Structure 1
Amino acid sequence: MESKTDCKMQWNGIKEGNISSLFRLYELLFTHLLNFGIKYSADVDLSRDLVNEMFMEIWDKHHTLPEVENVQSYLLSYVKRKVARHYYHDELRQKAIHTQQDELHELSYEEFIVNIQSEQHLRSRLKTALQKLTPKQKELVQLKFFDDLSYVEIAERASLTVKTAYNTIYDALKILKKEMK
C-alpha cells in the first residue's frame, strides 16, 4: 500500500499548487478510495464519480487545504461524507418530486367546485372582516402588507409615531383574526 509519507508529500505539493502532486495522489489512492466508496454506496459508477469530484474539489481549494497528518484517512472521511450528502440530497429531490406529483393530480369536478366555493367563501369573509376596520387601520394594513413598508416608513407616510403605527396595525390584525375564525 502507498506510504503515509508519500501521500503527505503529495498533499503538501497540492497545497503549493503542484498539479503533478494531485495526479500522483490520485494514482496512489484512487482504487482504495473507490473501493471504500463502493462499500458505502453499493454503486460503482456513483463512487467513481464522487471520488473524481472530490479530487476536483481538492484542486479547486488547494490554496485553503488544511494541514493533514494522515491524508488517506482524511480522504476516506471526505468520500464517506460525499456519499452521505449525495443520498441525503437525492432523498430531498425524491420528496420534492413526489410532492409535485401529488400537487399536479387532476382535480375531479367535485373537488374543483369545492375549491372554488371555498375560495369565494374565504374572500367574502375577508371582505366582511376588512369592513370592520377603521379607514386608518385599512390604510396602514395596506401599507404594511401590500406595499411592504416598514413601520418607520409607514409612520412617516401617515404622519404618526412608529409606536402608533405598530399599535394600529396590531389592533387591525386582532380584528381580522377574530373575524376570520
Structure 2
Amino acid sequence: MNQSDKPDNSERDTPSEVSFETLFSRSYAGLVYFSFQITGDKQEAEDIVQDAFVSYWNRRDEVAADLPAIKGFLYATVRNACLNLHKHQKVIRKFQDQLPADPVEDRIMENEIIRAEVLSEIHNAIESLPPGCRQISRMSYLDGKKNNEIAEELGVSVNTVKTQKQRAMQLLRQKLTAESFIFLMLL
C-alpha cells in the first residue's frame, strides 16, 4: 500500500506523529473505564492504567509503531493486570491458569473494550466543546445530573442549561460517529 493509499485516520498515527501526551490524553479515560469495569475499584483502575503506560514507555521499542498496536498493547496490559489482581484477591484453584480461556469471557472483554473506546471518544469530544457546553455536558452526561441540579450548582437558569445542552448536542453530532452519538443519547 502506498503512502498516498493510506486512509487519513488518526488511529493510524505513528508514535513520532502522536506524542506520549496525546496518546495518554486520548486513551487514559477509556482505559480507566475498562479497568474499572473489571476491578470495580476506581483507584485500583487508575493505578493499573498508569502502570500500563509505564510498561508501554519502557517497552515502546518492542511495540509496533502505529496507534492501534499501541492501544492493543495498553488494553492487553490493563486486562492482564486486572485479571492478575482478581487472582491475587481471590482464593484460586492451583491449576486455573492452565484452563483454556472461556469464549464467553472473551466476548465480554471485547464488548468492554468497545464500550471503553466509545466512552473515550465521547469524553474527548466533550472536552473539545466550548467551556459552557463542556461543563454542562460533563455534569449531565458523565456525572448523570439533572437539569435543575446543574442550574442550581452553576447558579444559572434551567433554560440556560437546556440551551447549552442543545448546543452541545449539535456540536457533538458533528464530532462523534453515529454509533457513539447514539450511545451518548442513551447515557
Bucket of the pairwise TM-score, normalised by the shorter protein? 0.3 to 0.5
Using structure 2 for the length normalisation, give the TM-score. Answer: 0.38
TM-score, with length taken from structure 1: 0.39
- The one of the two structures with greater contact order (alpha-carbon pairs below 8 A, sep at least 6) is 2
Structure whose alpha-carbon radius of gyration is higher: 1
